[in-house]
Amino acid sequence: MLRCARLCVRARGPAQPVSGPSSHPFLFLHSASRVSGRRWQSTTTPPGADTLQPYEAAGLTAAPHRPSLAHSGQNISGTEVAFPTAPRGSQLSARNVATEALQMKKIHQERGGNPMLAQQARRVLFATSISGQSVDARSVAVLLNTAVYFGMESDARVVRECLDYCLKNDKYITLDILPIVVTACATLKSRDAREVIELQAVKATRNARYLDAKGVTNTLSAFAKTNINHEKMYALLSKRVQTLARVGEFEASHLVMLANAFSMLRYRDRHVYGAIARRMLSLRERVTVHELVPLVVSFSRAGLRDQKLSKRFAGKCMEYVDSMNADQIASVFKAFAYFGIRYDQLFGVLTNRAVELIDEFSADHISTTLAAFQRIGINNPELFDNLAERALAVVTDHDARNISKTVTALAHFGLKDEELFRRLASHAATIADQFDALGIVSTMHAFARTNFLQADMVVALSERSVHVCRYLDAGQARRLLWSLAKFQVRDPRILTPVFNRCLALHQDFFTDPTGSEEVEELFDVYGPNTCPPLYQLYVSRGGHM
């Protein structure tokens, strides 16, 4: 064998040196393969070979200088991203990919959800693997979190491998990494993700008393997204919150996150809410309007009915009312409507501010404000006139929910703006497929109460009601049927499924005393022949309830 090798060397002669940048034997072979139109393929990345870096795949920054591809005859247009035909992301360091993916996530959030950037991030993450690499727990957590953020599910390789790592290396997931992992797993629906959450819940329960202000805030915020009830853990974390609040550890941003987490969990311990409120009020000028409003909204969503606490919040909101924007004004209206306590002075200054900013109100702000006044039962004609005028300017921006809330509130106060109702009804007819069961009932019932009839709206919403009536309860089915009677709808294709739904719920349909007049009126219109079984039940009750 050795003799044959020497003969081959003598036959070929000594190797000739190659001048220029390709004097290295590997570079010479690499250049030759590209000239011939073939890409260098290798299971390992040789030194000096071109390797796809994460920032190149994402298109975030300019890549380092590389030899020109002009000599290879390959033309890359400026509109396409130059990715390799066979992604080699698995050869990249998982730590580097995690760092770049986190940066891409931040840029994606800053740009308001750039779809091209998200697609590029997914391509990099889909080609990434942590198998066989020496990675730390934080890099795995960041990879899992960013992969889930960009819409990858449990069947993706990187997600599957990260979940497997979390299950097998739970001891390496420290308390500061725990919230990152739990937030990612909260979105996933797989059994492994649920098991990871349970493991982290046990860890958080055991170490609740060791968490600092930032740690307990991030932990509660993460578990609030899981919709999993861990009463013991939440009780221990709430006690830790009260302890840290008494010694003044929390900043305003922490308090907002804590209140939001407890409200999402439907946790109604007055002691923890009281501790959060006292700490917030003690911060005084360090609390901005951007922190006060979300805190008040979170307290209202929790369903608390603490008059003393809500009164202190009302006074604080009055101090900041001049710096509130339209969204904050609508949110405060809604929050205090949910508190169920009328503060005429607060609503007065909020109304004045709302009139000043009326041109900034969107369709959502209008409907939210009107619904808040309906809930608390305050009639404010001056504000309603301004809101109705603004609603005319943004009619096309209303979605199904906005239309339903707006017309329901106006009908509640007996207000009927013909021009506004006409344009909202026409718009509702064009987006009828967006209405859910409650929206259909509320909208049709509001128009029927004000005796407003518009053919295109009635036809579109009536046809839509056929597809959603099976989701109605007895009271909603009765109001829908009464509305159809007011609109003189007699099409059996529409009435049959609605009557069948009422018949299926006949016990509750007839026992509600608030709907007795509506039942009488709808049977006066439809008589005994439209739905004989339901009519017989009505008669058997003596024609009244």
Do the beta carbons of residue 29 and residue 35 sit within 8 Å? Answer: no
Rounded Cα gap, residues 351 and 344, in angstroms:
10
**What's residue 542's pLDDT?**
60
**Alpha helical stretches, state H, 323-436:** 326-339, 344-356, 363-376, 381-393, 400-412, 418-430
Q: What is the pLDDT of residues 98-109, one digit of tens each?
A: 999 999 999 999
**Last residue of a domain, which of 207, 230, 257?**
207
Q: What interhelical angle do 474-486 and 492-504 show, nearest 10? A: 150
- Which residue type does 396 have? T
User: What confidence category does residue 306 fall into, taking pLDDT thresholds of 50, 70 and 90?
Assistant: confident
Cβ neighbours of residue 415 under 8 Å, at least 6 residues apart? Answer: 384, 388
Q: Could you tell me if residue 203 is inside a domain?
A: yes
**DSSP code per residue over 482-497:** HHHHHTT---HHHHHH
Per-residue burial over 142-175, b = 16 or more CB atoms within 10 Å of its CB, e = otherwise:
bbbbbbbbbebebebbbbbbbbebbeeeeeebeb
Do the beta carbons of residue 278 and residue 270 sit within 8 Å? Answer: no
- Between 449 and 87, the more confident residue is 449
Counting residues of the chain whose pLDDT is more than 90, the rounded percentage is: 65
Rounded Cα gap, residues 78 and 76, in angstroms:
7
Mean pLDDT for the chain overall: 83
CA distances from 51 to 48, 84, 102, 122, 189 (A): 9, 10, 20, 18, 35
Rounded Cα gap, residues 392 and 400, in angstroms:
16
Evaluate if residue 317 carries a pLDDT over 60.
Answer: yes
Rounded Cα gap, residues 226 and 385, in angstroms:
43
**What's residue 20's pLDDT?**
43
**What's residue 160's pLDDT?**
94
Instruction: Out of 110-114, 264-268, 406-410, give the one with best mean pLDDT.
Output: 406-410
**What's residue 466's pLDDT?**
94
Q: Could you tell me if residue 419 is inside a domain?
A: no
**What's residue 340's pLDDT?**
84
Cα angle value 69/72/78 (rounded, 5°): 45
**What's residue 229's pLDDT?**
85
**What's residue 7's pLDDT?**
40
Query: Which range has the worst mean pLDDT, 85-99, 414-428, 445-459?
Result: 85-99
Q: What is the pLDDT of residues 344-385, one digit of tens each?
A: 899 999 999 999 999 999 999 999 999 999 999 999 988 999
Rounded Cα gap, residues 38 and 377, in angstroms:
76
Tell me the average pLDDT across 170-187. Answer: 95
Token digits for 252? 């305003």
Q: Could you tell me if residue 381 is inside a domain?
A: no
Q: Could you tell me if residue 317 is inside a domain?
A: no
Q: What is the pLDDT of residues 427-444, one digit of tens each?
A: 999 999 999 999 999 999
In the three-class reduction of DSSP (H, G, I as helix; E, B as strand; rest coil), residue 152 is classed as: coil
Q: Could you tell me if residue 355 is inside a domain?
A: no
**Last residue of a domain, which of 207, 229, 264?**
207
**What's residue 131's pLDDT?**
87
**What's residue 304's pLDDT?**
75
Q: Could you tell me if residue 516 is inside a domain?
A: yes
Evaluate if residue 214 carries a pLDDT over 90.
Answer: yes
Rounded Cα gap, residues 244 and 308, in angstroms:
23
Q: What is the pLDDT of residues 521-530, one digit of tens each?
A: 999 999 999 9
User: What is the rounded end-to-end Cα distance, in angstroms, of the chain?
Assistant: 107
Q: Could you tell me if residue 482 is inside a domain?
A: yes
**What's residue 77's pLDDT?**
39
Range of the domain at 480: 438-544
Cβ neighbours of residue 537 under 8 Å, at least 6 residues apart? Answer: 503, 506, 510
Q: Could you tell me if residue 161 is inside a domain?
A: yes
Query: Which range has the worst mean pLDDT, 29-33, 72-76, 158-162, 453-457?
Result: 29-33
Domains: count for the chain: 2
**What's residue 134's pLDDT?**
86
Rounded Cα gap, residues 35 and 536, in angstroms:
89
**Last residue of a domain, which of 176, 207, 238?**
207
Evaluate if residue 23 carries a pLDDT over 60.
Answer: no
